[in-house]
Structure 1
């Protein structure tokens, strides 16, 4: 056998082995232990002006005792192409862990399930809100250009069998809130859920809205319709949340981090209860022209229940946001996060929309929070015009100071693929196409059933 023939045979063998790996749990990078897999949510059917805000239970997620290293997402169409925020606005998506009783009929979608049923145990993050915001991962329009990488040697621990209650198994669910603004009379008004554009007077449960409630989540619930221009054809289309999870198998070398979410609407400093209201309004400034200042600032405070080192931080804001920061008791900046606004029309660069948020990656051990320390969250919005239903959340990952800092795990970088692996890369592409096709067929055959509203 000639050298050229041996080389070709070797390359084909590599490609076949990669394609065979399509049936395994994930595609593993070549130079480290980092695993990665792309998933698709159930299909989301929209037409111009429509709103989908559903809960999807038992979504696909990596199995086993693992450490999550990143969780990225975006909205794509049936061809797998990114969808512009100027057509489908991703208000938010959140991924929530829960435990479900074994042997009970599998639930895929049920808006009325709730978190208190005996078959369902919510396994949320570590706080600090006493209600709401239980997610481990979640962003909104900024999802495409916001880093979610967890730096080495840290990881978000999931799938630990010792923490799963007897008779239950760990699962994951999504809440995906998408607003179709094709042909909208006021696209930005639709994304801010202005009640007059949705022509609603009651919330999702039929309760009358308060007279002073002019916009927010209570007006753009699942099945509502934002006003579109006369003559706009009602063309349906299906979109998906494409999410990419990267992880490593759990080992003693990984330092676990806890997920904390702060909310600028938290009432704790006034009531002693972390009642997070999630959204608020920004009034148009009446003095901005005279003072040349159109900044609306809101603050709240909270207490971290552990001593820990901050290893990551990022804010979540809506259009109109101009930045947010988390401060320590002494006024030091723990993390400052600013929005990235789009400038054009392509997906990921939509003018007027927040397409990313800056993140913080402190040097390990350089930003420490003391147990019981009062932290201040500040959220700034432009008040040049009014905004309804805005949010001011702040995510931080904290490594408990009692954690053992052992040897570092894999370097969290993309692998450098030698030329000899070229055919293998082609195999990976084929594998990805097969996976996407299989997932879509599977969802069409035994997809998630919606409940009429």
Structure 2
């Protein structure tokens, strides 16, 4: 039986873009604040999928310096839900600019001409494909997102939105209920045969050589379950997220967020525009490599930041089958 594992690798870098002021060393002297929120309820039955977008989510307001954003799936009692019951495929959070309600009421005709929202994406390199500020998946629990002092991610700057708009936040949560799944790994890898789908969420026919991926496990689809689980109990879960921040001040050194995709080979191939992907297919191991116990797929790429600075934080995201990820600089011996 051929296995078709999928690996999505993202490295999020926060790169400082200014010199370090002496007063920035006093960031910890400011009041650190933290608050925990819940997403809207997510209803799942055995084998079902939820991949919804939530706009204007609960989020700290004001001109802030974000220090961390941690999340996990919990049930109605606030108890963490294990991954072998609800697989957190991914979640992403990012700001956007929405039309102010007051402005819309005062000039309804003009407001209707405007877009409902303008995404306020990260600084690159893959911002047109992967524009989030925060986002992880099944590795969310126990993965640090702390931005060290004196740095912070600037949000809520009142001068940032276009006139008539205000900053809000959105959240996308992709969760798969694997209780009673006929093939738990196959369900989390979104194998099309287990989801019994031939068209994607936009009504387009899925290519025959597409054996698994996001096209097959979209919102409201259902993975094959064992006998006795078809009418299983509906469970209500939430994404619980905790945001830690400081009020913005001159003591904070702002950073930029960059997301890389290991499959983006544009620079290596001499192309000017990035070619980032959300997913890619790892070919089945050849019989020769299998005989030599050498079934390891290695993917590497090269990227250049749009501007210089200090890298102060990095984290990688990968799915089932991923072994490790590393980031290396051009300076000999430097790696993350």
Pick the TM interval, shorter chain. Answer: 0.7 to 0.9
Match of 2:234 in 1: 236
Alignment of 1:420-435 (within 5 A): none
Offset at 1:104? 7.4
Match of 1:204 in 2: 201
Match of 2:5 in 1: none
Alignment of 1:138-157 (within 5 A): 138-157=135-154
Match of 1:56 in 2: 54
1:142-161 Cα offsets, whole Å, 9 max, x none, are: 10110001111111110111
- Conservation of the 8 A alpha-carbon contact between 1:34 and 1:246: yes
Distance across 1 between alignment mates of 2:328 and 2:189 = 28
- Residue from 255, 264, 282 that aligns with 1:266: 264
Distance across 2 between alignment mates of 1:255 and 1:330 = 24
Match of 1:445 in 2: none
- Conservation of the 8 A alpha-carbon contact between 2:121 and 2:127: no
Match of 2:296 in 1: 295
- Conservation of the 8 A alpha-carbon contact between 2:127 and 2:259: no
Alignment of 1:231-380 (within 5 A): 231-232=228-229, 233-269=231-267, 270=269, 271-286=271-286, 287-329=288-330, 332-335=333-336
1:402-429 Cα offsets, whole Å, 9 max, x none, are: xxxxxxxxxxxxxxxxxxxxxxxxxxxx
Choose 1 or 2 for highest CA Rg.
1
The unaligned stretches of length 5 or more in structure 2 are: 1-28, 105-112
Where 1:188 maps in the other structure, the secondary structure is helix
Distance across 2 between alignment mates of 1:332 and 1:59 = 43
Where 2:139 maps in the other structure, the secondary structure is helix
Distance across 2 between alignment mates of 1:105 and 1:236 = 41
Offset at 1:32? 5.8
What RMSD over aligned residues (CA atoms) do the two structures have, in Å?
A: 2.0
- Conservation of the 8 A alpha-carbon contact between 2:70 and 2:145: yes
Structure-2-length-normalised TM-score: 0.84
Distance across 2 between alignment mates of 1:150 and 1:252 = 17
**Between Structure 1 and Structure 2, how many residues are aligned?**
297
Q: Does 1:98 find its partner at 2:96?
A: yes
1:244-291 Cα offsets, whole Å, 9 max, x none, are: 000001111111111110011224233432121110122232233443
Offset at 1:331? 6.0
Query: Quick check: which one's helix share is greater?
Result: 1
Alignment of 1:108-147 (within 5 A): 118-129=115-126, 131-147=128-144
1:394-450 Cα offsets, whole Å, 9 max, x none, are: xxxxxxxxxxxxxxxxxxxxxxxxxxxxxxxxxxxxxxxxxxxxxxxxxxxxxxxxx
**Which structure has the higher relative contact order (CA within 8 Å, separation 6+)?**
2
The unaligned stretches of length 5 or more in structure 1 are: 1-30, 107-115, 336-453
- Residue from 217, 220, 225 that aligns with 1:220: 217
Structure-1-length-normalised TM-score: 0.63
Distance across 2 between alignment mates of 1:105 and 1:229 = 53
Structure 2 vs 1, CA of residues 135 and 208 (structure 1 numbering), >3 Å: closer, same or farther? same
Structure 2 vs 1, CA of residues 331 and 166 (structure 1 numbering), >3 Å: closer, same or farther? same
Structure 2 vs 1, CA of residues 293 and 136 (structure 1 numbering), >3 Å: closer, same or farther? same
1:108-162 Cα offsets, whole Å, 9 max, x none, are: xxxxxxxx96231110111101521110001000101100011111111101111
Where 1:334 maps in the other structure, the secondary structure is coil
Query: Quick check: which one's strand share is greater?
Result: 1
- Conservation of the 8 A alpha-carbon contact between 1:130 and 1:274: no
Where 2:159 maps in the other structure, the secondary structure is helix
